[in-house]
Structure 1
């Protein structure tokens, strides 16, 4: 999982990327291509 300061560009990498807020952290999850996971 990558830690990034900006998640907007990561969200646009693939159509299956979803932005999810869990607690105080923001995650990008992708069930089709798991290597695209990221958090902020």
Structure 2
């Protein structure tokens, strides 16, 4: 099995900027796709 034939997990993070000492996380999302590309979990 290659990486694109198995399940895949994606991660997205939105922040107020790029300075890790001052900026904050606004939203975060994780999505898991099964081997067929269908959404398995969000």
Compare the two structures and name the one with the higher strand fraction: 2
Compare the two structures and name the one with the higher helix fraction: 1
Which has the higher Rg, Structure 1 or Structure 2? Answer: 2
Task: Give TM-score, length-normalised by structure 2.
Answer: 0.33
Task: Give TM-score, length-normalised by structure 1.
Answer: 0.34
